[in-house]
Every structure is written in C-alpha cells, then in structure tokens.
Amino acid sequence: MKAGKLFVLSALALVLSLVVIPNTFAQAENARVRVIHASPDAPAVDVFVDGNRVLTDVPFFAASDYLELAPGEHRFQVAPSGEAAESSVIDTTATLEAGMAYTVAATGLLENIQPTVFVDDLSAPADGQVKVRVLHLVPDAPAVDVSVQGGDTLISGLEFPNASDYLEVPADTYDLVVTPSGDDTVVIDLTGTALDAGTIYDVAATNTLDTITPEVLTPPVGAAAPAQQEEPTEAPEEAATEEPAATAAPAPTTAPAAGAPSTLPTTSEGTTSPLTLLALGALLLVGLGALLLRRRTLG
C-alpha cells in the first residue's frame, strides 16, 4: 500500500516538474544589447560592461552585433581607445529584462557626449511586410520629418537623440526624404529605397548637420519579444575588476556591421541549471517509486 502511494507521489512530482521547467527556462533567458558609436567628433573608443573591456577601437559610425547579457543591472562605460574604464567619458547603468533587446548609443559631440538607450522590437513583421524605425543621432540638427517624396509624412517632429516608433509597411521600393520639421528642404534623400519583406530596418541619421549621413542597420528578426516597455533606468555603480580579452569592433559601414563578438561575458559564476536539478529530482523520484512497487509485487 505504501509502495503504491510512493509511486503515485513520484509520478505527481514528475508532472509538477514538467510544469515548472518551462517557467524556469523563461526566467533564465538573456537580454540582448547592441552598442553604437554615434558621436561624430569622438575618437575611437573601448567599451566596458561591468568593468570588463569587451570592445576595442570602436570607430564612428560602427555598430556591434547583438551581444548577450544576463538580465539585471549592468554598468556600461565608454573610454578613449586604450585607456582604462576609470577614464570613461560615458558611465551609465541600465537594468536589462530577460528576453528584451536594447541599443546603447554614444551620442552627441565629444564635449557633451552622453549615453542613449533605445528599446528594440525584434519581433517579425507580418507576411509581406517590413518594419522601419528612424533614429535621429545628429547632435546639431533640428527636429526632422520623414516623408514619401511628394506624398504623406510618415514621421514628424523627430528630435535628437530619439527614435521613432516602428512603422510596418508593405515590402516595396519607396522614395523617402528627410527634411527639417515643417520645411521642404531635403537633408537626406532616400529615393529608390528597396525594403525587403520580413526585414527590420533601423535608419540612423548620423554625423553633423553639414555632413548629415544615413546609416542603415538590419537587426535580426524574431530574436526578442515585442519591446513596448519602459526604457532602462540609469544609476552609476561600482565596476568589477576582472578584464577578459577584448575584441576589436567592426569598421564603419553603411551596411549592417559585421565581425563583432557574438557574446559578452556575464558577471555571475557558473552554476548548475535549475532545469537540470528539477529533471534529475523528478527522475530519481520516479525510479524510487518503481523500485518499491516492483519489490511489493515480487513479495
């Protein structure tokens, strides 16, 4: 009788573990962070995360791939290339959420350089559609409008250093222009812009007003859930001291950047996964119940 009860309890433990495991796995999901050097008169820089030098010699305008970090609070510092984190010109802390994606950009001219954090939406567009977002990263430019040439205004009054909402439009070739808000003087001509179905585009207005330049980035699709949450908060914090080997950043490009590292180090020590512990525990309970039932049957 007791053996039968133990077997039932063992089976119940297995069922409960299978219910808990997906939730534990979701909680362990990492956040993803992309770093952009968007300060037009700043020299090449090194990027530190939690005191670790993770990118070196990042030039203007370069963007890393998305790098993975454990959810929670992380310190981001940007220093002139070759100098220590203590010489950073940007020092900010951001709280990252599991499954979310972020862009951390160094923006503004060197004398007032600042960190700007954007929350990214990497969810796939609908079939036959594309998603487009515009980032205003020109420190001395006024607010701008983005319009179809001779047609509708798609984005109006976008100010530095902000990003527009994502626009979801049919895949096609568009004649787009960027003008000062309320003015018809074209500062960026994007006529003949082909947008491919299923793609996400970040179109960044960069450099300074007299040399304003468009940079097009295509983040990976479907890498994170829709990001419509509050942006990370800022609060400086002490950095860690250990420094792993750094990786050189990609060169400036008007196409998606390549050659950046795919992961960043995390600050936590390696531990046994709760997923593994739950699965082993459930299997042990089932084995024990089966053994006791077998002995009762043979007896």
Which residues touch 15 (CB under 8 Å, ≥6 apart)?
A: none
pLDDT category of residue 28 using cuts at 50, 70 and 90: very low
CA atoms of 179 and 102, how far apart (whole Å):
27
* Averaged pLDDT for residues 143-158: 95
- pLDDT at position 222 is 78
User: Alpha helix locations (H) across the chain?
Assistant: 2-27, 274-298
113 vs 267: which has the higher pLDDT: 113
Query: 60-99 pLDDT, tens per residue?
Result: 999 999 999 999 999 999 999 999 999 999 999 999 999 9
pLDDT value of position 215: 95
Find the range with the poorest average confidence among 131-135, 233-237, 267-271, 290-294.
Answer: 267-271
State the pLDDT confidence band at 224, using cuts at 50, 70 and 90: low
- With a cut of 70, say whether residue 227 has pLDDT above it: no
Closest by Cα among 135, 160, 137, 156 to 147 = 156
- 12 has pLDDT over 60: no
Q: Which two tokens stand for residue 265?
A: 């180090």
**Average pLDDT value over all residues in the chain:** 76
For the residues 29-47, what does the mean pLDDT come to? Answer: 95
Q: Output 175 or 22, whichever has higher pLDDT.
A: 175
pLDDT of residue 190: 94
Question: Residue ranges of the domains in the chain?
Answer: 2-22+273-298, 36-121+224-271, 124-221
Q: Which residues 6+ apart lie within 8 Å of 10 measured at CB?
A: 285, 286, 287, 288, 289, 290
Greater confidence (244 vs 142) lies with 142
What CATH number labels 124-221?
2.60.40
* CA–CA gap between residue 122 and residue 165 (Å, rounded): 13
Parallel, antiparallel, or unpaired: how do β-strands 31-38 and 101-107 relate?
A: parallel
**Max intra-chain CA distance, the chain:** 94
What's the CA gap between 227 and 101, in Å, rounded?
A: 7
Contact yes or no for 164/203 (Cβ under 8 A): no
**pLDDT attached to residue 223:** 56
Q: Which of 79, 102, 40 is nearest to 246 (CA)?
A: 79
**What are the angstrom distances between the C-alpha of 158 and each of 34, 94, 183?**
22, 24, 13
Model pLDDT, residue 134: 97
Cα–Cα distance, 216 to 176 (Å, whole number): 14
User: How would residue 299 be classed by pLDDT, with cut points 50, 70 and 90?
Assistant: low
Beta bridge partners of 70: none
pLDDT at 172 over 80: yes
Tokens of 244: 């792993």
Q: In the 8-state DSSP scheme, what is residue 8?
A: H
pLDDT tens track for 248-265: 444 443 333 333 332 232
Q: Tokens 């409008």 correspond to what residue?
A: 145
Could you give phi then psi for residue 220, rounded to 5 degrees? Answer: -65, 145
pLDDT-based confidence at residue 181 (cuts at 50, 70, 90) = very high
